[in-house]
Amino acid sequence: MISVNRQKGVALITVMLIVALIAILATQMTARLQLQMQRTTNIGSNQQAYWYAMGAEAFAKRVLIQSLEDDAEVTHLGQMWAQGENTFPVAFGQITGEITDLQSCFNLNALRTDDGSSVKGATKPIARKAFEELLIALSIESVGSFEAESMADALSDWLDTDESITGSGGAEDSDYAAKEFPYLTANHYLASIGELRVIEHFSVEVINKLKDYVCVLPGSNLNMVNINTIAQDKPEILVAMLGISQNDASQALSAREEEGFKSVDDFFALPELSKAQISADQKQQFAVKSEYFKLKATASFNNSYFALNTIMQVDNKNNISVISRIIGRE
């Protein structure tokens, strides 16, 4: 009798263990199923946010086309594309977008010459001079003419294709390879402003101050600044590129009407500029029409977010091509 009771007790314990094991397995399966369902939902939401952002890009193209059709010869801040940041509500989310002119700032890739090498010697390229003057004009702490020249040397070496150091502040592969975490120079155009973080002499303070005045045109050393789209509060760009005082630069920008100047000659006919000794080479750095634009878009859907930065190029027939897309916040 005792043996039978023991067997029943063992059987009961076995059944209880099996039930407990099944309960644990069921709980794990339910938890994993819920996780997979949530993951599927998140993927769907992220995908929808992505398509919202791509919709913003398509809309930006239409806005640019319409603006250029209305005023084909001049690009200015009174056009439809230059309305600043706008937010549009959509189903279960919203889309925010802003179009900016990438020719309203100094192109860092302009320091790369057409033959892919830096210019050595006493004569500096005009873009290089302007970059050094811009660094000085921004009044960055501890940055004078020597520091500005060193940063220009290092950036030129990063962009060129040779292994020769441009100047005393230059840096090539051997300098970067000797670091604790070694790497090599790009020997190519910059892809983004953030790339300055790995170039010699560029500190966080310098980059943060510089980023509102410079831009990067992917694969292009064009430095043709549109006088109609330079921000009113950034006269330092004119100071650096023309060698004029900040007061004259501010007055020149203030004299600009909403629809901008119809020609470069109209701009340089201003009293503030006509009295200055501006060379023909300096004047050739400016235009009244732009061909590069940037869309900064963010989209949300069901608490999922997607950020997109698109660079677009407009040809002489007003056809728009996407030349760069960066996913994520800059």
Query: Which residue in this structure is represented by tokens 């500005």?
Result: 148
Buried b (16+ CB within 10 A) or exposed e, 20-35: eeeeeeeeeeeeeeee
Q: Which residues pair with 317 in a beta bridge?
A: none
Quote the tokens at residue 314: 């407009």
Which domain-ending residue is among 175, 190, 213?
Answer: 213
Pairing of strands 214-215, 106-107: parallel
Return the pLDDT at 244: 93
Classify residue 317: in a domain, yes or no.
Answer: no
Domain boundary among 213, 228, 248: 213
* Structural domain harbouring 163: 113-213
Give the β-pairing of 292-301 and 304-314. antiparallel
pLDDT of residue 118: 52
Is position 218 within any domain? no
The pLDDT of residue 52? 94
Please give the Cα distance from 268 to 288 (Å, whole number). Answer: 12
Both tokens of residue 318? 């007003």
User: What is the tally of structural domains in the chain?
Assistant: 2
122 lies in a domain? yes
CB-based contacts of 203, cutoff 8 Å, min separation 6 = none
The pLDDT assigned to 22 comes to 86
Nearest to 188 by CA among 222, 221, 166: 221
The predicted structure's pLDDT at residue 127 = 93
Q: Is residue 235 part of a domain?
A: no
Which of 197, 213, 229 terminates a domain? The answer is 213
Q: Residue 68's pLDDT is what?
A: 86
pLDDT at res. 274: 87
Would you state the pLDDT for residue 122?
Answer: 52
- Residue 235 to residue 194: CA distance in whole angstroms: 23
CA–CA dist 270, 152 (Å, integer): 31
The reply to whether 77 falls in a domain is: no
Q: For the chain, which ranges sit under pLDDT 70?
A: 1-8, 114-122, 330
Question: HSE of 72 in the Cβ direction (CA atoms, 13 Å)?
Answer: 6
Largest CA distance in the chain: 120
Distance between CA 9 and CA 14 in Å, rounded?
9
Domain assignment present for 80: no
pLDDT tens for each residue of 103-134: 999 999 999 986 545 555 457 889 999 999 99
Residue type, 120: K
Query: What's the pLDDT at 124?
Result: 82
**Position 95 in a domain:** no
- How far is CA 255 from each of CA 10, 103, 189, 235, 313, rounded to the nearest angstrom? 97, 20, 35, 12, 29
The separation between the first and the last C-alpha atoms of the chain, rounded to the nearest angstrom, is 80
What CATH number is given to the structural domain containing 123? Answer: 1.10.40.60
The whole-model pTM stands at 0.84
**Is the residue at 48 inside a domain?**
no
Report the pLDDT value the prediction gives residue 113, as an integer from 0 to 100. Answer: 80
